[in-house]
Amino acid sequence: MWQFNRREFLATSAGVALGGTSLAADKPKKLVMLAGRPSHGPGEHEFNAGTILLKECLAKIPQLEVTIHKNGWPEDVKAFDGADGILIYADGGGGHPFVQEKRLELIGQLVAKGVGLMAAHFAVEVPKNKGAEEFRQWIGGCYEHEWSCNPMWVPEFKSFPDHPICRGVKPFKIRDEWYFNMRFRPEMKGITSILAAPPSDATRDGPYVYPRGPYKHIQEAKGKTETLMWCVEPEGAGRGVGFTGGHFHKNWLDDNFRKVVLNALLWICKIDVPKEGVESKVDEEMIAKNLDPKGKK
């Protein structure tokens, strides 16, 4: 005849409870990557290939699950269910995926719930009358047409703040369409500058990619160090990151350029960044994969 054993029952119950806690704790964080529509020439604005490459570089992070959605927005907004972080790597301005329909409202709701947000390259630009205030709230700042500028240049990143996004990142320099003179929150409130460098006088004098410039207010700031990547960590909301590089697909070959972005993606998902940052390897063969059909350069 079966007899109730209180000691065995409690031990079994505790084991189930602990197991349930462990399973919950082991559930991976979810990163949703939004890759914009094809634009520019071959090797430029390769949003699809870039997000696929970043996903491959994050494959060895067991705490992270990554999904990719093309054309800058998922076919079903249920794709955001359970998201811990969002990357938008796409064209911006008036065509920015977030400023279409009522998407700003949806993204705002997600950020308010604690979902992290990172905007890369052109995706840091939104119209100043639609999305700019939201971007300053969510990620700290944005590109503003004819206030910010977008020259091709080679900044030298010589030092970094003591921040998880910078772990393992060594000094580097690389040519890209690095935007600067962003429209940040007043007095850079709550913003940590991750990548910063002073543009040369020649860079400030232009030409810029579009419009060609130069702008007087940019020229008058000669010698000023500019923030090219930054982050914010608002209380009670998701973390935010802005990254202005990413024009040239080949730049993902650079270990430090790549690492600072991979670290940031973990950070917005609230995953501890490894002491030496995210380790990954990328070669020419990987760079040549998944490119949009744009013809030959």
- Domain residue ranges in the chain: 30-287
Would you say 262 and 232 are in contact if contact means Cβ atoms under 8 Å apart? Answer: no
- Per DSSP (E only), the strands in the chain are 29-35, 64-69, 85-89, 116-120, 141-142, 156-157, 172-173, 183-184, 191-197, 226-232, 240-243
- pLDDT of 23 higher than 70: no
What is the rounded average pLDDT of the residues 46-53? 98
Query: What percent of the chain is modeled with pLDDT above 90?
Result: 89
Q: Which of 14-28, 239-253, 275-289 has the lowest mean pLDDT?
A: 14-28
- Using pLDDT thresholds of 50, 70 and 90, give the confidence band for residue 295: confident
Cα–Cα distance measured from residue 130 to residue 76, given in angstroms and rounded to the nearest whole number = 23
- What pLDDT, on the 0 to 100 scale, is given for residue 201? 98
Residue 150, strand partner residues: none
Model confidence pLDDT, tens digit, residues 160-194: 999 999 999 999 999 999 999 999 999 999 999 99
This prediction has a pTM of 0.91
**Token reading at 177:** 């369409």
Judge whether residue 19 has pLDDT over 80.
no
DSSP state letter for 165: G
What is the rounded average pLDDT of the residues 97-103? Answer: 98
pLDDT higher at 93 or 1 = 93
Q: How, if at all, do strands 172-173 and 116-120 pair?
A: unpaired
Percentage of residues in the chain having pLDDT higher than 70 = 91
Q: Is the dihedral of CA 243, 30, 50, 97 positive or negative?
A: negative
pLDDT in tens, 231-275: 999 989 999 999 999 999 999 999 999 999 999 999 999 999 999
Question: What does the alpha-carbon distance between residue 274 and residue 263 come to, in Å, rounded to a whole number?
Answer: 8
Q: Inform me whether the pLDDT recorded for 284 exceeds 70.
A: yes
Mean pLDDT of 86-111: 98
Distance (Å, rounded) from C-alpha 284 to C-alpha 236? 42
Give residue 17's pLDDT.
Answer: 37
pLDDT beyond 80 at 1: no
Judging by beta carbons within 10 Å of its beta carbon (0-12, 13-18, 19+), is residue 221 exposed, middle or buried? middle
Question: CATH number of the domain at 30-287, please?
Answer: 3.40.50.880
User: Counting Cβ atoms within 10 Å, is residue 223 exposed (0-12), middle (13-18) or buried (19+)?
Assistant: exposed
The residue behind tokens 């890759």 is 35
- Mean pLDDT, the chain, rounded, equals 92
3-state secondary structure (DSSP) of residue 31: strand
- Write down the pLDDT at residue 294: 87
Q: Kindly give the interhelix angle for 255-268 and 47-57, rounded to the nearest 10 degrees.
A: 80
Least confident of 13-22, 73-82, 213-222, 256-265: 13-22
